[in-house]
Amino acid sequence: MWCIPYDSVWRPTPAAFNFMGKQMTQLQQRSRAFDLAPLPAPPLLDSIDIDFGPRPLLARYMTRAVAEAERAGVRLVLYRGMAELAQINREASGWSPLNPIFEHDPAHPDLERSFSIVGYADDGDAVATTAARLVLAITTLKEEAESLRLFYPHESSRPQAGERCLWQCPKADGLSGRIMWSGAEYHRPDYRGRGLSRILPRLARAIAYAHWGIAYAAGFVRYPEHYERKLGLAYGFPNSEPLVRWLGSKLGDIDSALCWMDETELLADLETGLRDRKARLPEAAD
């Protein structure tokens, strides 16, 4: 279990993990039986290592994000891999199938290169999610997308015959290296408008930076509807550009805008959130 105590962060251990500060110890110790899986109370770790990045900033931000989610009525749980996310997606009403990049492959669970964050209501129902996968773009993210390797990280998941990706984002042609690919955003309708679209993506980026030392964070928003609603900005991405056309996939033809930020922008965004927790960062219309 990976836990985030108040004064430290990040040491991997084998199971799913809770993010709770020391000030939340009593909450951690209350056991609940969830429909998805039992969540044992995590041990209180004296220290958790941050592999990359500024420890004080990342630790403070993670603790702040968890507390804000708790005030919104959501208890956050972090899972290695995509197994829990896949189950929640299958059971959730009104949620489209997952993009193949976030599908769970039992033969290749990728526990060190992927994670999901799930928000649970008091009754144990999953009401919000986000997910991340580490993309190692040896050349560029553009080439990863056009070759379809971005969408199909496992050999067991294959493109459809004739499937292709058309990349038309010249400003982002040079993105390369260790990239966090984010997505799988889901908020149950009665939990929208609580700030979760601001909290979860930023928390995921903080974790990804601490664990993977990413050079960029990136993801898609649907074009034109989500792009015009500035959903990428609501998720904290300062840069966005259409158009990426994903054609012939099992999800159909999808037009998207690419959203991205580099590590300097990522850390600056976290600092902004810490300076004023009530700062009106853009909120998604969900």
pLDDT tens for each residue of the chain, 286 residues long: 344 433 333 333 333 434 433 333 333 333 233 333 433 333 222 234 689 999 999 988 988 888 899 899 998 888 889 999 999 999 998 899 999 999 998 888 888 999 999 999 999 999 999 999 999 998 999 999 999 999 998 877 788 899 999 999 999 999 999 999 999 999 999 999 999 999 999 999 999 999 999 999 999 999 999 999 999 999 999 999 999 999 999 999 999 999 999 999 999 999 998 986 654 444 454 4
Tokens of 51: 């592999």
Interior angle at CA 231, CA 177 and CA 133, nearest 5: 30
The pTM (predicted TM-score) of the whole model is: 0.81
> Which parts of 72-132 fold into alpha helices (H)?
83-91
Burial (0-12, 13-18, 19+ Cβ within 10 Å), 116: buried
Alpha-carbon span 241 to 41, nearest angstrom: 43
Residue 99: closest CA among 165, 35, 197:
165
DSSP characters for 39-65?
EPPPP--S----SSS-HHHHHHHHHHH
Instruction: Give the CA radius of gyration of the chain.
Output: 18
Structure confidence at residue 78 (pLDDT)? 86
Beta bridge partners of 166: 245
**How many residues in total does the chain contain?**
286
pLDDT of residue 155: 75
d(CA 135, CA 149): 9
| CA distance linking residue 169 with residue 94, whole number of Å | 30
Q: Which domains are present in the chain?
A: 17-275 (3.40.630.30)
